[in-house]
Each structure stands twice: as structure tokens, then as C-alpha cells.
Amino acid sequence: MLKAVGWYLDNIYYNNKWSCIADNNFTNENISFYFFDYIFSKFNWEKEPTTSLEFLLEQRARQLRDSYDYIRLWYTSGSDSETILQTFLKHNIYIDEIAVAKNPFTQSDRELNKRAIPKLELLQDSLSKTFINIFQTTSEQYLDILENQDYDKISSDVTLRSMSYLSSCYHTHSKIMEAPHLKHNKVVNLIGHIKPRLEKRDNKFFTYEWDSVISTLSLTPNLEMFYTGHDCPELHIKQCHVAKNFIKYKYPTIGNQIFSENNEYRYDIEKAIRVPIDNTYTFTKENTLRNLTEKAKLSVKEAYTVAPDVYYAFKNLTKDYHFIFNKHKKLSIKSKEYCLGS
């Protein structure tokens, strides 16, 4: 059976995208991206599950609680992690730990400082038995990873954002991160992935993912994506249909178009399938290898001023990847797509 998520080159499985591309002369030709294919392919995606989205969210939370001894929720207060938190609280399902990872560049932490941490303080009575783990990554730790980047162990990304990714946190805060593993047999790192990506094409709707969505997460120990997984396919199918129905209602005459959290339709998707949040401090998500996200740009700009050694280490690290991008133009790999109907 094929692994749930990863890349295949000549029938060889890779859990790291860049290792796979490096073994393929730095092109994505003949590389396949598998995204729960062996499970998702068993379903008729044109048929919307009759169960409500709210019930499937509750069912997923209970499933995770029954499956793991220790749940660590990675929380930013964005719509994905906020919906997870509210689902657990609403149904009185216990979360062992809520983790908030801060970096040394304050401008790129505005979501955490202005929204996430104050929200957790407001919920302290409801979360009295939950370990609230707010930890700070230093510029020295950033520099250590940038200068000693081992993509076979840490991350598949090349931006400063990778320092806050979970696999990097296991490197920079190993004692904190590994402590639950010493006491519990089954520990899960729970993240808020993935929002649906929809495409209307020739009067039909399709859904698929690009590997860049998960390439930075593929090496994280004990990782579970709340909305998308091998043991909750109905939840992802349902959220795709709910988002599709909202788009059809709001834009009945729209032509061929892509709807994702990386373009102007992000808030339409969030309104359809997530709890409402205050988006005052929300960052835009547009990202390519050469065009960093808003959050990453702020990190780079601040690093240039307050931690120039970090800035130049980042610049040197990305130089080779920019060369690869310029030469081959496109390194992203698309998953299998599924038709959601006309």
C-alpha cells in the first residue's frame, strides 16, 4: 500500500520533497505527489455527505481524543485552529496542551500577540486543566537552523517561516517538545489543515492540492491534520461541498476560476466552513518561492535590521533555490483531483 502522503520517483517513496527533487536532477518531472490517494479514491466525490459539517467536526474531535493519550493543538487563533479549539470546547473534549510558537521578529507575530494569546487568557477558566505552552524562538536558534539546515530532518521549506514549523520546533525546543513522549505512548501534534482548494472549470467544480501545502509539514513527528486525514475522509469531502455550495450561491454566473485561501476568495471559504474570527491581524497567504508571504516578508525585513547575521544566512540559503526556480520555473506538484459535480 502506498504511503498516505509523500512523493514517489521511480516507485521509491520520499517523505521530503527536496530530497526527491535533488535525486531527480532538480526537476519535478516523473515525480508523483500522493495525498491520501488510496483512501480518497474510494469515494464518490460528486455526492455530498448527508451528515452535517458540525457533526463531522465533533466526530473528528472525539476520534482524535479516543486515538491519542496526549493531544497538542498548535494554535494561532486563525480560522482553522480557532474552529478546532471551539469544537473541542463546545463538546467538552479535553485538550492536553495548546502550543503557541513565537519567533524573535515581533512584526510577524502580530496574530499571536494581538489575538491568540489574549484569546487564551480569556478562556483560562475553560482551559484550566490544559497546559498553555507559549515558547519563544530566538534569533540564535534561527541562525542555527539556517546555517545547519538539514532538510532530511527539519523542513522542506526555504523561507524564514520554516523556523516556526513543527519539525523545526522539535529541533529548537527539543526538551519541551519531547517531554510528553516520555510519559505517553500516543502523542499527536494537531494542526488546522487543510482548507479546500476549489476550481470551477467547464461548468464543473474540482478539488485538489499542491504539494507545497504540506511539504513543510511532512517530517513532523506524530502529525495529524484535523480536517484532512486517512481516517476522516468524509470531513474533507463535506467541507469541499459546503464551500462549493457557498461559492455557487454567491457567484452564480462566475466563469472558470480557482477559489483558495491564497487568493481573494479566501474569506468566502472561511465564512462557509469555519467559525468567524477577527481578521484585523490576519496575514495574507500568497506565497511562491520568489514571493514570500506577508508574514515572511516582515520577518526578513526585521531580520535585516535587528539580526543581520540571520538575514544573510537566509539570503545565502535561498540563493540556490532561486536559481532552481528560475531554471525550471515550476517545482510544485499537483495531487490527484476529484470532481465535485456540476
Average pLDDT over residues 239-263: 95
For 28-32, 111-115, 154-158, which range has the lowest pLDDT when averaged over its residues? 154-158
Q: For residue 240, how many C-alpha atoms fall within 13 Å in the half-sphere facing its CB?
A: 29
Confidence band for 160, pLDDT divided at 50, 70 and 90: very low
Query: What's residue 100's pLDDT?
Result: 92
Residue type, 109: D
Provide φ and ψ at 331, rounded to 5°. -115, -10
Rounded to whole angstroms, how far apart are CA atoms 268 and 264?
A: 8
- Quick one: cell of 93? 473534549
Strand partners, 34: 6
- Please give the pLDDT value at position 279: 82
Q: Pick the residue with more confidence: 1 or 169? A: 169
**pLDDT greater at residue 13 or residue 292:** 13
Mean pLDDT of 130-135: 93
Tell me the one-letter amino acid at 98. I
Least confident of 82-96, 222-236, 298-312: 298-312
In this predicted structure, the answer to whether residue 216 has a pLDDT above a threshold of 80 is: no
The per-residue b/e assignment along 291-306, b for 16 or more CB within 10 angstroms, e otherwise, is ebbebbbbbbebbeee
Report pLDDT for 298. 77
The span from the CA of 160 to the CA of 76, in Å, is 17
pLDDT tens digits, one per residue of 176-207: 778 898 899 999 999 998 899 999 999 999 99
DSSP string over 150-216: -TTTS-S--SGGGGGSHHHHHHHTHHHHHHHHHH-S-EEEEE------EEEETTEEEE--BGGGTTT
Taking residues 255-279, report their average pLDDT: 93
> What does the pLDDT read at residue 121?
96
What is the model's pTM? 0.89
- pLDDT-wise least confident of 4-8, 36-40, 302-306: 302-306
Phi, psi for 144 (deg, rounded to 5): -60, -45
* Phi-psi group of 308: left, alpha or beta (phi > 0 → left; psi -120 to 50 → alpha; rest → beta): alpha
Give the residue among 166, 85, 153 at the shortest CA–CA distance from 122.
85
pLDDT higher for 73 or 333?
Answer: 73
What would the grid cell of residue 322 be? 532561486
To the nearest whole percent, how much of the chain has pLDDT over 70? 82
Nearest Cα neighbor of 164 from 312, 278, 293, 58 is: 293
Poorest-pLDDT segment among 65-74, 249-258, 331-340 = 331-340
pLDDT of residue 1 exceeding 80: no
Distance CA 141, CA 108 (A): 17
- Residue 74 pLDDT level (bands cut at 50, 70, 90): very high
Give me the half-sphere count of Cα atoms (radius 13 Å) on the Cβ side of residue 53: 17
Query: What distance separates the 2 farthest-apart alpha carbons in the chain?
Result: 56
Q: Residue 3: its pLDDT value, please?
A: 65
Tell whether the model's pLDDT for residue 288 goes beyond 50: no
Cell of 170: 522539535
Instruction: Give the angle subtended at the CA of 119 by the CAs of 175 and 216, to the nearest 5°.
Output: 50
| For the chain, percent of residues with pLDDT exceeding 90 | 52
pLDDT 10s digits, 12-52: 998 877 778 888 887 778 899 999 999 999 999 999 999 99
- The predicted structure's pLDDT at residue 157: 47
Confidence of residue 211 (pLDDT cuts 50, 70, 90): confident
Predicted confidence (pLDDT) at residue 249 exceeds the cutoff of 70: yes
Cβ 198 vs Cβ 244: under 8 Å = yes
Q: Which top CATH class is 50-341?
A: alpha beta
**Is the predicted pLDDT of residue 82 greater than 90, yes or no?**
yes
